[in-house]
Amino acid sequence: MTANIRPKRTWRRVDGVLLLDKPQGVTSNAALQSARRLYSAAKAGHTGTLDPMATGLLPVCFGEATKFSADLLEADKTYEADVLFGVTTNTGDADGEVLERRIPLFGRVELENVLQRFHGTIKQIPPMYSALKKDGQPLYRLARQGVEIEREAREVVIRELRLLEFSGDRCRLAVTCSKGTYIRTLAEDIGRSLACGAHLTALRRVAVGDLSIAQAVSLDCLGHLTDEDRNRRLLSPDSLLQTLPAVVLDLQDAQRFSHGNPVAVAVNVVGKCRVYADGRLLGLGHADDSGRLQPSRLVASN
């Protein structure tokens, strides 16, 4: 009897950005690999993990776009967060074990007043159930062993914290924050300020920088598209770089730049910028105040 042999997958070069709506209960890496297989993409990466419990915007980078994924890690993120007051858990979310129950004794006005305290630059102690590492070990592994270590408070910025819904012991918040912000910790700290405790029951990321969940597609929908329609869902690699100023070079300077050489530019740009020639992204550069543009990350030509 001849064994069934699965044909070997042929990976291909795919360059672009897919805005994926990650489902609940799936890790960011599993969602990334599913999308990668649908495109048969040779190279893929994402721009920052979402907890398995969380849903929402996960920008997936293919090919040359992976060179710029780190730039989006620096971008602000926007979430919608559901919080339950009066119950604390060991993980800060609904996946954890209940540690304590209290009766919430506050109203909307008290909650609004407490939320005001968390606007701007605040300090957070990262949770034990996180991917941060101590001596090479992720903290969540230590936490599962019952080990707790001291963590230093970090400064993060809460640019927006708005109450969307409130019903006694539950609320929904809109949060726009800097990188490194833990929404679970924010929910716990708000509950602590209200003297009743709290934990996160749901979390949805709705924006990363200028990228919006409104443009995203689910894995299920993606799997039912034709190859042609699937390719139409890809944004260009420079969609990750729209917050940076653009510099356009002539063909002679473009050739020098693409070979790793600095060029002189007349435009009034200082710092990191995206560089184009003849309508094509060449990569990232860094311009100093003398007009010297140095290549920092280049895109491979097709």
Centre a 10 Å sphere on the Cβ of residue 4 and count the other Cβ atoms it contains.
5
Q: Which of 185, 73, 200 is nearest to 130 (CA)?
A: 185
Record the tokens describing residue 300, joined without a space: 């491979």
β-pair type (246-248, 271-277): parallel
The residue annotated as part of the active site, out of 15, 21, 51, 253, is: 51
Which bin fits 266, alpha (ψ -120 to 50), beta or left (φ > 0)?
alpha
Alpha carbon 161 to chain centroid, angstroms: 18
Distance (Å, whole) CA 38 – CA 31 = 11
Amino acid (1-letter code) at residue 292: R
What is the separation of C-alpha 134 from the centre of its chain, rounded to a whole number of angstroms? 23
- Count of CB atoms within 10 A of residue 236's CB? 14
The Cα–Cα gap between 128 and 8 comes to: 41
Q: 């100093």: which residue's tokens? A: 288
Closest by CA to 126, choosing from 113, 143, 110, is 143
SS3 265: coil
- Active site includes 93? no
DSSP per-residue letters across 174-211: EEEE-TT--HHHHHHHHHHHTTS-EEEEEEEEEEETTE
Consecutive H or E run containing 271? strand 271-277
Catalytically active residues, by annotation: 51
